[in-house]
Amino acid sequence: MFKKTMMIIVIIAIALMLIFGCGKEDNPFDPNRGGYNDTPQENLSFIDTTALDPGIDGEIVDVDPSTGEIIIYFLDFMDASTVNTSNIIVRDTTNGTSITGATLTYYPEIKKAVFRGTFSDDAVFVVTLKSDLKNNAGIQLDGNDNGLIDGSPYDDYRYRLYTGTGNVGDVDFVHPEIDWVTPGTTNGVDTLPTIAVLFTDSDIDTTTLTLTNFTLMKTSSQVSVSCTLLTAALNHISFQPRSKLDEVTQYTVTVECASVFDTCGNVLLGFVGENDGWVANIPDYTWDFITEAIDTLLDGEPPQVSVAYVSGEELVVRFDDDMDTSTFTTTNIKVFNNATKQNLVGSIINEYDGKGFRYTLENAVSGTLYKLWVSKDVKEAAPGNWYLDGNIPPNPNGVGGEWNDDYEKTFVMP
C-alpha cells in the first residue's frame, strides 16, 4: 500500500512538473563537475547565433524564383581559407539531394558568409558549421560552447532550416539532459524511497532506461543495492530498492549517461546547466542522499557552520553540532589575506563545548579583508561522524563532504 502511494505521489509530481514546466531540483550535486570545473575556461565560440539569417529553425525564402540564401555572421575575423563548403555544409534531410548550384561567398571585412543555391521545396535542411572553421588567430569553432577543444563532430555547430511545409521537428539532434531528480541531494530520506530521474525532452529511448544504466549503491562500501524498475517512460524513469535501506546511511545514485539515448540516438548529456555538452566521453551523473534516522539516538544530519564572527582579537567559528575537534587542524582551517592570499598566522583554540573554535587574530591588520576557509574534511563527533556541509552554493544541501562543501567567509579586521 505504501509503495503504491509513493508511486502515485511521484507520478502526480511528474505530471505537475510537465504541466507547470520542469522545476529544477534546488540543490543538484554532480561530483563529476569537479574535474573540469577547475579547468580554465576559454571562449572559443565565434558564431553569432542570434544573427543567423534565416535564424535557427527558420524558413529559407527564395531571393529570386529559384535561389535561396543562408547567411552566417561571425563574431571574429575569420581565417578565410577555412570558410568554404567543406566546413559549411547544408544537407537536405528530406530528399537527401544535394543543393544544386551551391556557392559560398565570404565577405571578410564584414565577417559574413553567404551560402546560395536551389533548395528543394517542402524540405528540412541541416546546416553544419564544422569545428575546422578558424578565426584569424587560428582558434577553432567551439560548437558545443564548453570552452574546450573537442573536435568534430562534438564542436561542429548544427542548426535546422526549412522550405515550404518542411517540419524542422522531423529532425532531432537535440540531446536529452537530466532536468530533475528525486530524492535530490538531501538527508532524512525514507528508507524505501522512490528514485526518479526526469529528462528535458519526452523522447527517451525507453529501452535504455534500465537498472544497469541507473544504479544505487551504499556510498561507503560501494556495494550495489538491488532495485525494482517502477516506470520507464519517454520523459522519466523511476525505481525503488527491493527492501528497506539502512537508516542514517549515505547512498549514491549513478546515471550512466553515455548509455542513455533519445529515440534518435542522441546521448544523454548530464544534468541541465551542469554538463560539458556533447563530448566524446560523457561522464556519469551521480548524487548522494542520506536516509532518515528511525532510531532517534542516531544522527543523520551533517554539520554546518552556524556563525563566524570577529570578537576582539579572535575569529569565533561555531557549528550546529558537536564536532570531532581532532579535525580542527591547520590543514583544515586557514585564514588568509583575501587580496594577496597570504596566510594569516594564528592559533586554533577549541571551544570548551566542542561546538567550535577560535582563530587568534593578533597578526591581522585593521581594515584589511581576510578570508576564513574551513575544509569539507572537518567532521562532527559520534554518533554522526559526518563531514561538513559547507556553504559554497548550492550548499548546504543536507549532504556533507562533497567536493564543493568547503566553508568560506570574508571579514574585515576591525
> Which residues form the interface with Ca ion (CB under 5 A)?
142, 144, 146, 148, 150, 155, 172, 174, 201, 203, 262, 266, 299, 301, 321, 384, 389, 395, 397, 399, 402, 405
Q: Are 412 and 369 in contact (CB under 8 A)?
A: yes
Instruction: Kindly state the smallest distance separating residue 374's Cβ from Ca ion, in Å.
Output: 13
Q: Are 319 and 355 in contact (CB under 8 A)?
A: yes
Instruction: Kindly state the smallest distance separating residue 264's Cβ from Ca ion, in Å.
Output: 6
Q: Which is nearer to Ca ion, 142 or 179 (CB)?
A: 142
Q: Which is nearer to Ca ion, 32 or 240 (CB)?
A: 32
Q: Are 414 and 311 in contact (CB under 8 A)?
A: no
Max Cα distance, the chain (Å): 87
> Per residue in 243-262, is it b (16+ CB within 10 Å) or e — as a string?
eebeebbbbbbebbbbebbb
Q: Which is nearer to Ca ion, 161 or 323 (CB)?
A: 323
Nearest CA-CA partner of 328 in 317, 320, 338: 317
SS3 178: strand
Q: Which is nearer to Ca ion, 203 or 324 (CB)?
A: 203
Q: Are strands 157-162 and 58-59 parallel, antiparallel or unpaired?
A: parallel
Instruction: Kindly state the smallest distance separating residue 49's Cβ from Ca ion, in Å.
Output: 15
Instruction: Kindly state the smallest distance separating residue 201's Cβ from Ca ion, in Å.
Output: 5
Instruction: Kindly state the smallest distance separating residue 7's Cβ from Ca ion, in Å.
Output: 27
Q: Could you give the dihedral angle defined by the CA atoms of residues 253, 256, 257 and 262, in that order, rounded to the nearest 10 degrees?
A: -100
Instruction: Kindly state the smallest distance separating residue 402's Cβ from Ca ion, in Å.
Output: 5
Q: Which three cell numbers stand for residue 118?
A: 536551389
Q: Which is nearer to Ca ion, 256 or 301 (CB)?
A: 301
Q: Which three cell numbers stand for residue 54?
A: 534565416
**Residue 9 one-letter amino acid:** I
Q: Which is nearer to Ca ion, 120 or 350 (CB)?
A: 350
Q: Are 32 and 283 in contact (CB under 8 A)?
A: yes
